[in-house]
Every structure is written in C-alpha cells, then in structure tokens.
Amino acid sequence: MPAALETVPHVVWTRRHVATDVCPQSFITAQSLGWIEEFLVWKRLGLNLTFDLRARQAEAFIVLEEQLSLEKQNGV
C-alpha cells in the first residue's frame, strides 16, 4: 500500500501521563478481567485478604490497589 494511503497513527486513549495509539481493550484478557472483578468485590465487601492467593493474583491486587490509590489522590 502506498504511504500516502496509510492512516497516520493518532492517540485513541490517554490518561494523565499515559497515551496509546492502539485500543487498550485488546490487551485485557479474561484472566485480568477476572482479577479486576475479584478486586472490586474484595474492596466493596471489605474482606480481609487470605493467604491462599496465587502469586500472580496477589501481584494483580497490589497493582490495582496502587492504581486506585493514585486515582483517589488525583480526585477521581
């Protein structure tokens, strides 16, 4: 395809210091969506974390907790 007919990349999503020209939804896996849903249930119900979490699940919860804290700091 000739370069003149190609679409110039443009930002499709941005949030504070992050931007992408690719739809971020395509990067969400069924597993990551499951972790987000589990995290939201855990936060809403005020449950204590049990120590039977898998390492990847624990890491996902830590990342989500950090991001939620940043959102709260920025007034969102």
- Write the DSSP string, 49-60: PPTT--HHHHHH
- Into how many domains does the chain fold? 1
Per residue of the chain (76 residues), what is the pLDDT tens digit? 566 667 777 888 887 777 888 776 777 788 888 888 888 888 888 877 666 778 888 888 888 888 888 888 877 5
Looking at 14-54, list the stretches that DSSP marks H as alpha helix, in order from N- to C-terminal side. Answer: 30-45
pTM above 0.75, yes or no: no
HSE-CB at 25 with a 13 A cutoff on CA atoms is 2
Residue 58 belongs to domain spanning = 3-73
